[in-house]
Amino acid sequence: MKLWQSEHPVSPGSEKKIEAFTVGRDREFDLQLAASDVLGSLAHAQMLQSVGLLTADEWVAVQRELRAIFREIEAETFTIEPNVEDVHSQVELLLTRRLGEAGKKIHSGRSRNDQVLVDLKLFTRTRLQEVVEAAKRLFDLLIARSEQHKNDLLPGYTHLQIAMPSSFGLWFGAWAEALVDDTEMLLTAYKLANKNPLGSGAGYGSSFPLDRSLTTRLLGFDTLHFNVVYAQMSRGKTELVACTALAQLAGTLGRLAMDVCLYNSQNFGFLTLPDALTTGSSIMPHKKNPDVAELLRGKCNRLRALPNEVALVLTNLPSGYHREMQLLKEVLFPAFDEIMNCLEISHFMLLNSQVTPNLLDDPKYDLLFSVERANELVVQGIPFREAYKQVKEEVQNGTFDAAPFRDHLQHTHEGSIGNLCNEEISESMNEVLSRFPFGRVREAVNQLSSDQV
């Protein structure tokens, strides 16, 4: 059933070929939009009743059946029938079967472009919340492990050369603070997804007296996309900003995975991964390869390509809707599943990794303390450049002694080994999270979809 299909004849055998090329995986992804489509239809139908395009009785019946379809979607019994073009057609078909003419009326004042737009906004909003909540769980673990290991020293590196003393507390806490910035990026994506395009029609509005402010409130959106032309142009930008946020988060997880791969190796030996996260070799009995961390690194690196992929689809498109925007589903939808898997395996990996204590007792790390020696001389009144030169000579002639500094590190400023500022980092995360309107959105969705409200 193709409600918008032209009636032009095609040559025998070409119809299936054309459909396979134009539809692609769209029906598969449309199932993920089903709940969003019903929510958009519930809000739109209530608005139609408010402006006199549905009677009160029709609205009650439409609301009842849409909520029944919503429950079918939640129970995973909803399907798109083989001859039905998309999720929008399937929902309208079910309504028409159950209600007759009233089911056909809900398309008044909107186009399929309109429906796709609002579905994508609602879907993206929901999936971003899942990502934010998973990132917060990982953040909490990182802060906890930072506190747990704040006194376990770790070699710090620059250029992959030993540099200065660090600690596992500092290392875990660094990734926690990185997630604060990543959550800021997710907030930007969420805010763009949380604008209402419904009522923009095919991009030029409608002669019906639509109440777009009402559907904005009903769907829990922050505000409208006011200009109807731009509402259509927001398709693509919404996906691009979401993919950019996911790519930044993936960048953090990928670099973390790289550290784990290094730290787990015998040459470093800073962390021990659980056996469940390693695999052996077919010929080397001793091997415990960090396959999970390596795959995490690879998956995250692949996710970092997302913004470029979306941007290239959108390149040089004029205003208005264009069919290739359909391809963006194939980029965005799997990306949400992938980043969630990466967040969850990162949590498992860090929860079960064992830290190696007393690392800096090894003499090979003596030179980590050269800066401590130079700073000691500065405190005694020697200019830093002279102190630097003196310590360099001590290192070169073999007289440098790290022993006095191993147990007497004096790092007290904010964010250093002795002052991790984890409380402040946690406050920063909570401040960012407070700007997500998750509670208000959840209440709006429940009001629309629940028979008990």
Give the catalytic positions in this structure.
Answer: 159, 281
Distance CA(7)–CA(31), nearest Å, equals 27
For residue 165, the cross-strand partners are 155
Neighbours of 304 (CB within 10 A): 17
Please provide the DSSP assignment of 190-247 as one string: HHHHTEE-TT-TTTT--SS---HHHHHHHTT-SEE--SHHHHHHHHHHHHHHHHHHHH
The candidate with the shortest Cα–Cα distance to 278, out of 287, 269, 268, 270, is 287
3-state secondary structure of 166: strand
353 alpha carbon, distance to own chain's centre: 24
The torsion defined by the Cα of 407, 411, 412 and 417, in degrees rounded to 10, comes to: -90
Instruction: Give the tokens for residue 83.
Output: 């001859």
The continuous run of DSSP H or E covering 355 comes out as strand 354-355
Q: Compute CA 280 distance to the chain's CA centroid, rounded to the nearest angstrom.
A: 32
319 SS3 class: coil
Nearest by Cα to 290 from 269, 270, 302, 275: 275
CB atoms within 10 A of CB 226: 11
Angle of the 422-433 helix axis to the 168-193 helix axis, nearest 10: 10
191 vs 121: CA distance, rounded Å: 10
